[in-house]
Structure 1
Amino acid sequence: MSNHHLCNVSDIEEEDSKEFFIPKDEKEVSILAVKKDGMISVFLNNCPHLGVPMNLEPNRFLDVEKNFIMCSTHGALFKIDDGECVHGPCMGQNLTQIPHEIRGEELFIDKDL
């Protein structure tokens, strides 16, 4: 796996999310990372319904209860662990997971998104 250092694990608070911009083909790709119960999930910041970014505000991806990733456009809710849509217009579809690994306290993603 060709790796890109994303951040330190501690840079993402428990029950919170963070947005990152990764250079790809002379433009930037937005991805989101979520930490819940000590586990980190990483997804492409792209709603499967309309292909729009999930957030309106920087680093804000979770619903009020912090149990789901929420698309701010239509309120669709996605499971944090695997990105499956459980509520909204894209039911049954999934966010695109980004392969990642944690080495020590560092979070890395596959550079070849």
Structure 2
Amino acid sequence: MWHSIVSYASLQARPEYGFTLTRGWDTKQGLVVLYAEQVYAYENSCPHQQVALNWSPHTFLDPNHEFIQCSMHGAWFQPDTGLCVRGPCLHRQLRSFPVRIQQDQIQVWFEFN
């Protein structure tokens, strides 16, 4: 099902946003990034040790906004593919979510079990 996460206008002002989806006891953490004028969504979990990627709330990108950076070991992931290009999980990928924009809302597809 589609879940509204954040407005596109907000993402244009700050190109990274973390979110939590909850249904009952099931919780999924994710992030959306605006990169090269495209929106991408990923699970907020490093494939190295399954820790959250963010440094602080809604902070996922390196200082130059070129890579998603893991706060634990500094791994770098390409924002458009989720591929790790530096760090302990080299060549592994972040789990992506389908994403769309509907009436200025960034929406992410996620099915709860």
Asked if Structure 1 and Structure 2 have the same fold, meaning a TM-score greater than 0.5 normalized by the shorter chain, the answer is yes
Instruction: Tell me which residue corresponds to 1:109.
Output: 108
Given the superposition, is the C-alpha separation of residues 84 and 14 from structure 1 closer, same or farther in structure 2, using an over 3 Å criterion? farther
Task: Compute the displacement of 1:25 (Å).
Answer: 4.4
Do 1:14 and 1:35's aligned partners in 2 also have CA atoms closer than 8 Å? no
Corresponding residue number in structure 2 for 1:34: 33
**Change in CA separation of 1:32 and 1:88 when aligned onto 2, cut-off 3 Å:** same
Cα displacement (A) at 1:51: 0.4
Q: Do the aligned residues in 2 keep the contact of 1:15 with 1:36 (CA within 8 Å)?
A: no
**Equivalent AA in structure 2 for residue 71 of structure 1:** C
Aligned counterparts of 2:105 and 2:72: Cα–Cα separation in 1: 32
Equivalent residue, structure 2, for 1:95: 94
Could you tell me how far apart the structure 1 residues matched to 2:46 and 2:103 are? 31
Superposed displacement of residue 16, structure 1? 2.3
Aligned residues with identical type, % of pairs: 29
Amino acid at match of 2:35: K
Provide closer, same or farther for how the CA distance between residues 82 and 96 of structure 1 changes in structure 2, counting only shifts above 3 A.
same
1:54 aligned partner: 53
Work out the CA distance in 2 between the residues paired with 1:89 and 1:95. 13
CA RMSD, 1 decimal: 1.6
Query: Hey, what's the Cα distance between the residues in 2 that align with 1:5 and 1:104?
Result: 10
